[in-house]
Amino acid sequence: MFNAACEGDLELVRYHVRNGVDVDYAHPEFLATPLVACTLAGHELVALYLLEAGANPHLHSEFDGLTPLQAARQARLPDLEAQLLQRGAALPPAPPAKMASAWLHRLLGRLAQSS
């Protein structure tokens, strides 16, 4: 199913789903999920179908390092992004580097005030 999703072959994806293939199965060679992979390839109809078939809107794709919502934003697929948000998807928190940067600015500000 992974290859069918990547190629945008909706009929073949439907066939696999009807025959019990797990829509969240991460390809062992690529460690990528069908939902994120087809989203990055721009196959919005396949991605929407996978969501309807029960794909997890929160599942992080290890190879891509993205959630489905991040992939939809990167691929500029606003309809898919809206569907993901309706299903409770959220962007991950900001990286700790930004928090460390804010902490450093506060510290430097305090040091400047005390001199």
Alpha carbon 73 to chain centroid, angstroms? 9
Predicted local confidence at residue 62, as pLDDT: 86
* Structure letter (DSSP) for residue 64: T
- 66 DSSP β-pair partners: 61
CATH value at residue 14: 1.25.40.20
Cβ-contact 14, 21 below 8 angstroms: no
The model's pTM: 0.77
Distance CA 78, CA 30 (A): 26
Predicted local confidence at residue 42, as pLDDT: 97
Predicted local confidence at residue 31, as pLDDT: 87
Cβ-Cβ contacts under 8 Å for 103 (sequence gap 6 or more): none
Cα separation values, 100 from 10, 65, 92, 97, Å: 45, 22, 17, 5
Domain with 37, as residue range(s), is: 2-114
In order along its 115 residues, the chain shows pLDDT tens digits of 999 999 999 999 999 999 999 999 988 888 899 999 999 999 999 999 999 999 999 998 888 889 999 999 999 999 999 999 999 988 766 656 555 566 666 766 667 776 5
Token digits of residue 93: 């928190």
Give how many domains the chain has, as a whole number.
1
Alpha carbon 113 to chain centroid, angstroms? 44
